[in-house]
Each structure stands twice: as structure tokens, then as C-alpha cells.
Amino acid sequence: MSAPAAIRVIPVRPSPAGAVVANLDPGARTPRYLDVDVDAGAVLRDLDIVVVAAGSVGGRLVALAARSGVRSLLIVDPDTFSPESVLTHDIGPEDVGRQKASLAGERAKAISPRTRVVVFDGPFEDLPRDVLAGADFVLLSSDGLACEQAVSRACTRLGLRLLQASLHGSTLSAQVRSLANAADGDGPGLCCGYSRREWDELDRGTVFSCTGNGRAPTSVGPPTMSPPQLCSIAADLAFMEVTRIALGIAPRIASTADVLLDYNGYTHATTTTALARNPHCPAEHSRWRIAPWPRPLSAATLRELLDAAGDARGTLSVEGYVFARRALCACGLDSPLERFVPDGESAGECPACGAPCAPHPFDAHREAPAAMLALLADRTLAELGAAGPATVLARGVDGTAVLFSESFAAPERAQIARRIR
């Protein structure tokens, strides 16, 4: 089993050329846009952007964001470049075999040293659930349906603007879906537009390794067949949407609306279509309230968390842990436990034989009901075994959800990086 990927901050590499770039005026090529009163360069340099998938489309999105000098970039991609990537990606033969996210991040840092560039060479599904919080835009160009679904769900939960760039090579079509995930929580997700064929493809094309390590799935299927010029058009259209929305160039309604922008290379026509929630969509559309926790979560008692969530009858889910009421040993002993256990790890030693125990599968809870925790309500998470949780999610019986995060209010994403590592 390979070790899970870590979030890394890309450092500035000192070089004579780098020094020249570092001293550039970042607004030297920013025009004064017609009817835009704000300092466009300053607005763009204040953006926090997440790019999921750094391939032929995503790699260019990263470059465009870096050239705009955005404040921070988080780049996520578990894949490496194959020899065929040379045909569609902006890379040379020497880059084959390299991690896509890392290479895109290094290039972005070289272009814009002031941008905080963070890369994750792993699947999106492995990221902590608050890592996107605070992002201005999430730009998605993955062709895996499972990844699409996970990103859409995360953006809906956290109320983040999602722009998805996609391609259909044989019709020379490039599309950008722009989902506002506005505060009313009634907007569509990406899955709302799935056809029956796409749902079937999601079922059939998603493969998990039977090593039982709980890692994210991979999608199997043919590679995307698109010419490189279509890839860059999709990326350019998506980043044009970023610019329009950030600067308010788009009509006011468009900045909060959910739209599909379609470009067709056969006709050179672009069309926009409004997107709406599909009431029959089986995907999750719940919205979470983000609650910064002012001190270490491990020092919070269960009662404090439930009180802060405003529903003493709901459930608590501590990220990275299960609440185990009993432990089970290979020798057959079934012993009481009543504490949090790191997900996938041992539940301590067996009192009889000393071997490592596992949480009893019937009594291990990812979401622990408040009633189950009642006798432990005044104990802290650390006292109950959860020494370093990233987040805690409290769900009320009425469906409301509050995500407690100690890092959300922090100004630098590096704090998240340190915690993960």
C-alpha cells in the first residue's frame, strides 16, 4: 500500500530569472476595462482559487491563474503525465512520468512568486472536508465522474462557486458550467444534469482497490479524445468566466446564476443556457454552515460542540475518526471501549491477549448520535481519543449541518498544510 499523498507548499526557487519576475509590476499588462470602476488587477490578485485536475485543461487554468497573480492556488491531481500527454498538454517529453499537480504548481510559482501555491498529488476525495472553505472559485476539469460528483458535493456544502470546463472532441465542443451555489441552497449541482447513461457510467466505471485501504476510487474508461486547441479554448472560456464574475463584467444576474456556456468549433457559435436544480437528482445538495472554532478542536467537549450547533439531539462526526463503543480482537474477545478511534487504525490492545483490536463493526459510528454520547458529554475530544481532528460536523435532526473548523479563519492555507502533514 502506498502512503497517502501530502499537501505541499511550493517554495520560491531562487534564480536570476526568478528575481526578474519577482520584481515585475503584476499589473503591467492589465487593461482598464470598459465600465469597470475597480482596480481589475487588484481584484484578481485577491482571489483564492482551487484547480481540480491539472491536465490539458487544468494545467492551462493554473497558468492563467498564475499570470493573473492570484493570491493563492490549490492544485489537486493524483495523476502523472503519460507519453500521450505530450500530444495535448503544455509539456515536453522530459515531463513524462511527473506528477501533474506538482509540475503545474512549480510552473505557477515560477510565473507568480507572490502567489501561495499549494499542491496535492492525490485524489480530491482524500482532502480534508474544510480545505476548500474560503476559496473564491473552484475550477474543475476532471473527466472522472466520481471526482466530479465529489467536487460538486463539496462546493454545494461549502457554498463555493464552481466552474467546470469540459470537452466533446468529436463535435469540437467546449463547455463551461458555472454553478453559483448561492446562499439559498436551491441551485443545481453537476449531477443534476446527468443522464441515465452517465449514472450507469458512474456505477460501472468506478473501481476501488480491494486492498481495503479506503482510498478514493479510480475511474476506468477511454481517454478523452480532444485536440489541444479545444482544451485550451475550454480553459480560456472558464478563466474568462472567472474574470467576468470577479470584476462584475457579467450582467448582475449572471454573477449569481447557474449557467452553461457552450462553444462549438464547427460554427464558432457560443450559447448560454440557464441551469436549474433537478428535483429527481439523487445527489446530495445539503448546505453546511461553516463555524470557525477559536481554539483547538481537540480541547472542545462534546457538549460545547452540540450546544454550538444548536441541536442537542443531532449527531457528531469527527473527521478521520470513528466512535467505537466496543472493540473486537482476533482472539474473539469483545470488550467495551467508548472512545474515538482513528479511521482504519487499531482500537488498542486486547486486554486478554495483547494483540491489536479493531472497532466492533456494529458499534463503530462515523456519525455518533448525541444520545449515545450523553454520558461522555463533558469530556473533550482529546480525552476521548480524538487528539487532532481537522473538523467536526454536527448534523441536526432537521437536516441542518454545521462544520466546525479551527483552520478556516486562518489567513494562510499553509496552516492547513502544516496540519495535514
Q: Does 369 bind other proteins (CB under 8 A)?
A: yes
Q: Where are the beta strands (DSSP E) in 100-258?
A: 116-120, 137-140, 162-168, 173-179, 206-207, 218-219
Choosing from 360, 380, 409, 419, the residue that interacts with other proteins (CB under 8 A) is 360
Cβ at position 146, least distance to other proteins in Å: 6
Return the C-alpha cell found at 153.
458535493
Q: Of 14 and 282, which has the nearer Cβ to other proteins?
A: 282
149 binds other proteins (CB under 8 A): yes
Among 329, 390, 392, 402, binds other proteins (CB under 8 A): 329
Nearer to other proteins, 97 or 221 (CB): 221
- Dihedral sign, Cα of residue 405, residue 411, residue 416, residue 419: negative
Provide the grid cell at 280: 429527481
Question: How far apart are alpha carbons 37 and 64 in whole angstroms?
Answer: 23
| Stretch of 50-58, 205-213, 250-258, 259-267 lying at the interface with other proteins (CB under 8 A) | 205-213
- Closest by Cα among 26, 47, 20 to 134: 47
Residue of 162, 328, 337, 373 that binds other proteins (CB under 8 A)? 328
Label the pairing between strands 259-264 and 269-274.
antiparallel
- Using CB under 8 A, pick the residue from 294, 332, 375, 411 that binds other proteins: 332
| Shortest distance, position 100 Cβ to other proteins, whole Å | 24
Per the CB < 8 A criterion, the answer to whether 141 and 53 are in contact is yes
Q: Which is nearer to other proteins, 63 or 350 (CB)?
A: 350
Q: Give the C-alpha separation, 66 to 116, whole Å.
A: 10
* Whole-number Å distance between alpha carbons of 417 and 410: 12
129 in Cβ contact with 403 (< 8 Å):
yes
Q: In one letter, which amino acid is 366?
A: R
Contact 237, 250 (CB under 8 A): no
Binding mask 267-306 for other proteins (x = CB under 8 A): ---------------xxx-x--------------------
One-letter amino acid at 210 equals C
Among candidates 394, 342, 344, which has minimal Cα distance to 369?
A: 394
Q: Determine, following the binding rule CB under 8 A, whether residue 352 of this chain makes contact with other proteins.
A: no
Yes or no: say if 138 and 159 are a contact pair by the CB < 8 Å rule.
no
- Please give the single-letter amino acid code of residue 18: G
Are the C-beta atoms of 381 and 392 separated by less than 8 Å?
A: yes
Exposed e or buried b for every residue in 200-216, given b needs 16+ CB within 10 A? eebeebbeeeeeeeebb
What contacts 305, CB < 8 A, 6 or more positions away?
316, 392, 394, 404
Q: Which range, of 55-63, 112-120, 289-297, 327-335, touches other proteins by CB under 8 A?
A: 327-335
Q: Taking CB under 8 A as the rule, does residue 202 contact other proteins?
A: yes
Of the two residues 128 and 217, which places its CB atom closer to other proteins in the complex?
217
Give min distance, CB of 221 to other proteins, in A: 14
**Nearer Cβ to other proteins, position 43 or 358?**
358
Is residue 52 involved in binding other proteins (CB under 8 A)?
no
Q: Is residue 353 involved in binding other proteins (CB under 8 A)?
A: no
CB hemisphere CA count around 405 (13 angstroms): 23
Q: How far is the CB of 155 from other proteins (least distance, A)?
A: 15
Contacting range for other proteins; rule: CB under 8 A; set: 82-90, 249-257, 295-303, 358-366: 358-366
- Cβ nearer to other proteins, comparing 221 with 228: 221
Q: Which of 293, 284, 100 is nearest to 189 (CA)?
A: 284
Q: Any contact of residue 362 with other proteins (CB under 8 A)?
A: yes
Q: Which DSSP category does 233 fall into?
A: H
- Nearest distance from residue 128's CB to other proteins, in Å? 18
Q: Is 222 in the site for other proteins (CB under 8 A)?
A: no
183 binds other proteins (CB under 8 A): no
58 is a site residue for other proteins (CB under 8 A): no
Residue 262 vs 311, nearer CB to other proteins: 311
Of 150 and 174, the one with the shorter C-beta distance to other proteins is: 150
99 binds other proteins per the rule CB under 8 A: no
Among 41, 78, 314, 385, the residue binding other proteins under the rule CB under 8 A is 314
Which amino acid would we find at residue 403? L
- In this complex, which beta carbon is closest to other proteins, that of residue 45 or of residue 153? 153
Q: Which residues bind other proteins (CB under 8 A)?
A: 146, 149, 153, 199, 202-204, 206-210, 212, 214, 217, 282-284, 286, 314-315, 328-332, 346, 355-358, 360-362, 365-369, 371-372, 395, 397, 399
